[in-house]
Amino acid sequence: MASSCGQPKQPASETTIEESEVDTLPADFVQFFNRFHEDTAYQMAHITFPLAGMPPTKGTGDTIMQERFFWQRDTWTKHKHFNDPGGDFDHWYLVLNERIIEHWIQLKGTNMYMKRRFAKLDDDWYLIFYQGLRPGQPPAE
């Protein structure tokens, strides 16, 4: 059963994990998440390439994927701490179980979402799925 960590909440200026979320997320995930966004080499070493996911929509009726999509190491753009100075987004974490956590970002007032899924493989966390901003449905509560 999925549990929510701060289901849609006021946006943070960056996607660093806030104090209220630290208590609901595993401590090693909090450390991983912050380092993942600060250290490029660490990020690249903690992504399972080719990375399953979905590209962002281009707004040309490409909302239904016809084929599986994979992000490639050689074209990857580093994920930095998300900056939302205009407060246009909500974001939250879903702890699916002790080894899988999703980070959701929604453009307010729309059905446009970005989703990243992280998994603890052996003793370390990895990004295992990334969906760019595209129409979708949030997870059921």
Q: Where are the domains of the chain?
A: 3-135
pTM (two decimals): 0.82
Helix (H) or strand (E) holding 130: strand 124-135
Share in percent of the chain as helix, strand, coil (round to 5)? 20, 40, 45
Sheet holding 100-107, edge to edge: 3-5, 89-97, 100-107, 112-121, 124-135, 47-54, 69-71
Q: What is the mean pLDDT of residues 74-91?
A: 92
The architecture that CATH gives domain 3-135 is: Roll (3.10)
Mean pLDDT calculated for residue range 89-107 = 94
What would the pLDDT profile of 36-60 be if each residue is shown by its tens digit? 999 999 999 999 999 999 999 887 6
3-state secondary structure of 73: helix
pLDDT at res. 25: 93
Q: Which residues pair with 104 in a beta bridge?
A: 92, 115
